[in-house]
Amino acid sequence: MIVSWYWLTDYLRLTMPVDRLTERLALTGLNHESTDEVGGDLAIDLEVTSNRADCLGHLGVAREISVLFDLPLNVPEPRPKEKGAPVSEKTSVLVEEPELCPRFTARVVQGATIKESPFWLRKRLETLGVRPINNVVDITNYVLFECGQPLHAYDLDKLAGRRLVVRRARQGEKLIAINGKTYDLTTDMLAIADAERPVGLGGVMGGLETEIGECTRDILIEAAQFDPMSIRRTSRALGLFSPSSYRFERGLDPERTDWASRRCAELVLELAGGKLCQGAIDEGGPAKVRPPIQLRFSQIARILGITIDRERVVEVLKALGLEEVGDLQFRPPSWRADLEREIDLIEEVARIHGYEHISENRPVPVTRSSRGERERVETIVRETLTAVGCDEAVTFSLVPDELVVPLQEGPPAPPLRVEHSTRKRETVLRPSLTPSLLAARAHNEAHGASDARLFEIAHVYQPRADRPLPDEPTRLAIVGGWDFVNLKGIVEALLERLRVRGTLRAKPIEHPLFVPGQAAELQLDEEHLGHLGVIESAYRELLGIKNAASATELSFDLLQRRSVLIPKAKAVPTQPAISRDLSLVVPIDLPWAELAAAVREAAGPRLEALTYLDSFQGGNIAEGRHSLHFGMRFRHPERTLTSEEADEAVQAVLKSCAARFAATLRG
């Protein structure tokens, strides 16, 4: 935001050096970028943060200066004289989209003369880097940079039906903007139309066909409020940005709309002549009165670490425009939409009182806090995965189309897109972490790290058909070069570390991301935990991965819910254990989880541990079958278990597996 030194002197007396002024403004949040001399004036460039839209005009900056230097502020009160016919006889306004345009005002000046602006007006605009056009257009720009409220002036005679309709654009409509370019409009855009066609894009830019020209005599002055998100979407969709859209995107003072309209009309009468029609069209009216904010005086010392007199606190807040409506209850002014909570008021007190009064070595009271459940689970996950050689990665939430491979329960929905992202290729909100990590593995491989093992804990975005906002579950994804069995072992080790309640089951699935026969859906009891598999070669080629790769993606929320973070003490076994190994020949499509469940059931209560050891296919084993080699450990808690008891349990396992799966002992 560039402000003119001499323009500021219209509102308050500046007796301090410019360096002192810019230093004080910088210390309170308006960072000083530069000061340049332009034709005898000083153009002061200030960085205005997105929450301080009130400082996007000279009046807002002057208000800050008046508070900082305790100077009286002179805000002009426009009172244009009305002499013409009632405005309702000359034009009308219909707002069809009140949610996108909560307020729209219109005034009409008849018989104006369009000519060059006087020197003082041209000079002020040129100081800001704005090219003068003519007296009426320059006045709308002047008021914009004075108070931050954008305006637009129409040639009333060029409006079909001499009326305006605020509506959504219709698909296929076009607008020739005042910059001379033609834009294709969509139904997502808010158009300002006359009785026949769009004549402007609400809050972004006016149309060329109805702009003010030398032949203009009757002028319609528009001042309105528009939905910031609507303006942002339209600007980015068309690549069309203006000083008006910049301000509308950040939110405007709802009570400044009519002021700006009257100010513009007053200057038009002064510099272009004509007669102002009586009254104004005001659709929507001013915003509701905001509720007050309660300030607890004790919180100031607790948060800032210094004591400020109560009188000083009240003085600062009142100087900033807040109204005291009760005992330390303050109603924010209309121009400070960023003041919503108690902490906002405390920040304002600190900012104006001066951060320099807060000592660097002043102790600030703190209280002990403990890590929450999520943080503790994250810590265990990180410790476990780094122990098996993984590195944590952080990837972008926005991904290109080739990285959109949903890993979710149920049929995937079309992903969410962000049009005209600052990253031109990455325009999709990721529904899965796995493709992003695989792309990171490919990048590492291309730079010499041939076996990057990566994991990430982050949100994914899954569209919902029943509501506009997506689900944002937290996922844990792991990628590396392991085979299916070893990667599943890492998942099992992770579950063991977290002491997860429930039985892990792997259900074979087909998925385009994974090699057929080497992919599974993981379940904890009956709940969907995630997916695991070896990456298909075609997808590896798409990403440029030469070496083998595998991946798993798990529901972090389910892991957190099923974890046992406070373990129960377990007595150390005092009796010896007996181990037995078995190699059973079973159908090749029999999942290990199903066989393991049958073994546990048949082996009885003395089975302490069951461990998968190996599998074998070929040789003298018939086609369609393979050998599963596993170990069993038996123990009695109170006495020595006999070898005969262990053998009986093994025989029970053999009998059960033979009956259920046609299993035979491998010879």
Q: Which of these, 69, 75, 162, 156, lies nearest to 111 by C-alpha position? A: 156
Two structure tokens written together for 67: 């508070």
Residue entry with tokens 């995630």 = 530
* Residue 220: half-sphere exposure toward Cβ, Cα within 13 Å: 29
What is the rounded distance in angstroms from the CA atom of residue 444 to the CA atom of residue 226?
Answer: 47
Task: Tell me what pLDDT residue 425 has.
Answer: 75
Q: How do residues 47-61 score in pLDDT, each as one tens digit?
A: 999 999 999 999 999
**Confidence at 427, pLDDT banded by 50, 70, 90:** confident
User: 199 falls in which pLDDT band (50, 70, 90)?
Assistant: very high
How far is the C-alpha of 321 from the C-alpha of 216, rounded, in Å? 40
Residue 194 has pLDDT above 70, yes or no: yes
- Percent of the chain scoring above 90 in pLDDT: 76
User: Which residues share a beta bridge with 35?
Assistant: 44
- For residue range 508-562, what is the model confidence (pLDDT) as tens digits? 888 888 999 899 999 998 899 999 999 999 999 988 999 999 999 999 999 999 9
Closest residue by Cα to residue 195 from 161, 169, 223, 157: 161
Is residue 421 predicted with pLDDT exceeding 60?
no
- Rounded Cα gap, residues 131 and 106, in angstroms: 25
Q: Which two tokens stand for residue 512?
A: 């385009």
| 531: its two tokens | 């997916």
pLDDT band at 418 (very low <50, low <70, confident <90, very high): confident
φ, ψ for residue 641, nearest 5 deg: -75, 135
Radius of gyration of the chain (CA): 36
- With a cut of 80, say whether residue 407 has pLDDT above it: no
Angle at 189 between CA 184 and CA 192, to 5 degrees: 90
Longest distance between any two alpha carbons in the chain, whole Å: 114
Q: Render 494-563 in DSSP notation, one character per residue.
A: HHHHHT--S-EEEEE---TTEEEEEEEEEEETTEEEEEEEEEPHHHHHHHT--S--EEEEEEHHHHHHH-
- Spatial distance between the Cα atoms of 456 and 428, rounded to a whole number of angstroms: 19
- DSSP code at position 103: E
Residue 469 has a pLDDT of 82
Paired tokens of 311 = 């009188």
φ and ψ of 381, to 5 deg: -60, -45
**Selection from 63, 62, 60, 56 nearest residue 1 by Cα:** 56
Over range 144-150, report the average pLDDT. Answer: 96
How far apart, in Å, do the first and last CA atoms of the chain sit? 85
Q: What share of the chain is helix, strand, coil (3-state, %, to 5)?
A: 30, 25, 40
Q: How many CB atoms lie within 10 A of CB 446?
A: 12
C-alpha 133/C-alpha 334 separation (Å) is 32
Which run of H or E residues covers position 318?
Answer: helix 310-319
**In the structure, what pLDDT confidence band is assigned to residue 286 with cuts at 50, 70 and 90?**
confident
Are 166 and 150 a contacting pair, CB within 8 Å? no
Average pLDDT for 244-263: 94
- β-pair partners for 50: none
Q: Among candidates 598, 484, 497, 603, which has minimal Cα distance to 548?
A: 484
Q: Estimate the crossing angle of helix 310-319 against helix 297-304, to 10 degrees.
A: 90
The tally of CA atoms less than 13 A away on the side-chain side of residue 612 is 17
| Lowest mean pLDDT segment, chosen from 79-88, 399-408, 543-552, 641-650 | 399-408
Nearest to 91 by CA among 149, 169, 160, 137: 160
Residues 104 and 200: beta-carbon distance below 8 Å: no
In which band, very low, low, confident or very high, does the pLDDT at 590 lie, cut at 50, 70 and 90? Answer: confident
Q: Which of 384, 431, 547, 556 is nearest to 480 (CA)?
A: 547
Q: Tokens at residue 196, please?
A: 């026949």
Predicted confidence (pLDDT) per residue in 635-662, tens digit: 999 999 999 999 999 999 999 999 999 9
Tens of pLDDT, residue by residue over 455-481, are 999 999 988 777 778 889 999 999 999
101 with 290: CB under 8 angstroms?
no
Cβ partners under 8 Å of residue 533, min gap 6: 484, 511, 513, 514, 515, 518, 519, 520, 550, 551, 552
Q: What is the mean pLDDT of residues 192-206?
A: 93
> What is residue 96's DSSP assignment?
S
Q: How far is CA 86 from CA 151, 278, 281, in A?
A: 21, 4, 10
d(CA 513, CA 510): 9
Q: Give me the mean pLDDT over the 111-117 stretch.
A: 96
Confidence bin at 403 (pLDDT 50/70/90) = confident
Euclidean distance between CA atoms 523 and 530, whole angstroms: 7
Confidence label for 422 from pLDDT (cuts 50, 70 and 90):
low
For the cut 70, the answer to whether the pLDDT of residue 420 exceeds it is no
pLDDT tens digit sequence for 340-392:
999 999 999 999 998 888 877 766 667 777 888 999 999 999 999 999 999 99
Chain segment 300-351, per-residue pLDDT in tens: 988 888 889 999 999 999 999 999 999 999 999 999 999 999 999 999 999 9
Residue 428: Cβ within 10 Å count: 21
